[in-house]
A and B are shown apart, each in its own frame.
Chain A
Amino acid sequence: MVDDNMDRFGFTISTGRQIDYESNDRSIAEYILDKEPSFRLCIECGGCSATCTTGNFTGFSLRELNILIKRGENDKVRQNLKKCMLCGKCTLVCPRGVNTRNIVVLAKEAFQKSDEYAI
Chain B
Amino acid sequence: MNKHVVVIGGGVAGLEVAGQLSKAGIDVTLIEKETKTGGNLNKWYKLFPDRRKSSEIKEYLDGITLNRGINLLTNTTIEMFNRNRNHLLITTNGGKELVADAIVVATGFDLFKSARKEEYGYGIYDNVFTSADLEEMFRNGKIALANGTVPETIGIIHCVGSRDEKAGNLYCSKLCCVTAVKQAIEIREYLPESKVFCFYMDMRMGGAFYEELYREAQEKWGVSFIRGKVSEASETIEGKLLIKVEDTLAGRPLKMKLDLLVLMAGMEMSEGGKKIAGIGGLNTGENRFFAATDNHFGSNISNIDGIFYAGTCTAPMNITETISHARAAVVEVIDYLKDGR
Contacts and interface: CB of A to CB of B under 8 A. Distances in A.
Interface string A81-101: 000000000001111110000
Nearest to B200: A45
Interface of B: 119, 159, 163-167, 201-202, 227-232, 244-248, 251-254
A96 to B, nearest CB: 6
Q: Which secondary structure characterizes the binding site on chain B?
A: mixed
Interface stretch (A7-15, A20-28, A51-59, A103-111): A51-59
Contact of A95 (B229, B247, B248, B253): B229
Given A46-B248, A50-B228, A50-B246, 15 more contacts: A43-B163, A44-B248, A46-B229, A46-B247, A47-B230, A50-B229, A50-B253, A55-B253, A61-B252, A93-B119, A93-B232, A94-B165, A95-B164, A95-B167, A95-B201
A49 interface: yes
Interface of A: 43-52, 55-56, 61, 63-64, 92-97
Given A63-B246, A63-B248, A95-B159, A46 B228 contact: yes
B6 to A, nearest CB: 39
A32 B122 CA distance: 37
Contacts of B254: 50
B166 A51 contact: no
Contacts of B227: 46
Closest 10 CB pairs of A and B: A46-B246, A97-B165, A51-B231, A50-B231, A45-B229, A49-B246, A46-B248, A47-B229, A46-B228, A95-B164
Contacts of B229: 45-47, 50, 93, 95
A97 B166 contact: yes
A96 B244 CA distance: 18
A51 B165 contact: no
Contacts of A94: 165-166
